[in-house]
Amino acid sequence: MTAGRLLRARDRAATPWRNGGGVTREIAAGPADAGLDDFVWRVSLADVAAGGPFSAFPGVDRVITVVDGPGMQLTVDGAPHLVDARFAPFRFPGDAVTDCRLLGGPLVDFNVMTRRTAATAEVRMVRGPFEAAPPAGAVALVVVLNGTAVDTGSGRTLERFDAVLYEAGETGAHRVDGVAAVVTVTETSTETETARD
């Protein structure tokens, strides 16, 4: 098996939110040097200290998953959604008017964003053994959200929030003691649509 690129949690920088409500740590993005206005896809973890409005991302689809904490209520274009179960992905459009109310204190969430005209993402939670093998035109990102995982091909141990990125043609087998997220991103276009205000 071909080992993917190891992305250790300890190597990530924390970026404070402009509104002071939390910090974000980017796990991986495509293209690798993309910013918030020109990514095709972006995966991150956020420490959320306070509720408030979400930033708008026109043309972007989002999947958010509670990892730690009591959860939140999201109001998306006026419709309330209770997002209080750990490891249960919730999908919503990034261009919707979205407000967050914390249900009982700070939380950690896992975020996946894809440019709607350029990529799609499948987010699934796995427990136990599994194999990551992205098809042509796709990448697979494995992120340990709880516990640990062992890459049985290379023998590498992944601690909490460590990740491995697999390009098309690479494969990896893992044994998870806890919960891992597997994000498969398939690019549908080589062009990106720049987010507009």
- Looking up residue 101, the CATH number of its domain turns out to be 2.60.120.10
Domain end: 115, 144, 173, which one?
115
Domain boundary among 84, 100, 115: 115
Q: 156 and 181: one domain? A: yes
Residue 135 forms part of a structural domain: yes
Q: What rounded mean pLDDT belongs to the chain? A: 91
What's the number of domains the chain is made of? 2
In a domain, 61, yes or no: yes
Residues 98 and 126 in one domain: no
97 and 132 inside one domain:
no
Name the pLDDT band for 2 (thresholds 50, 70, 90).
low
Is 100 part of any domain?
yes
For residue 135, the enclosing domain spans 119-187
The answer to the question of residue 183 being in a domain is yes
Boundary of a domain, candidates 115, 135, 150 = 115
Question: Taking a C-beta distance cutoff of 8 angstroms, is the pair 177, 148 a contact?
Answer: yes
Q: Tokens for 92?
A: 């919503």
Within 13 A of 141's CA, how many CA atoms are on the CB side? 26
- C-alpha to C-alpha distances, 183 to 20, 53, 142, 147, 177, nearest whole angstrom: 28, 26, 6, 18, 18
pLDDT of 192: 39
pLDDT of residue 92: 97
41 domain-assigned: yes
Q: Which residue has the higher pLDDT, 154 or 108?
A: 108
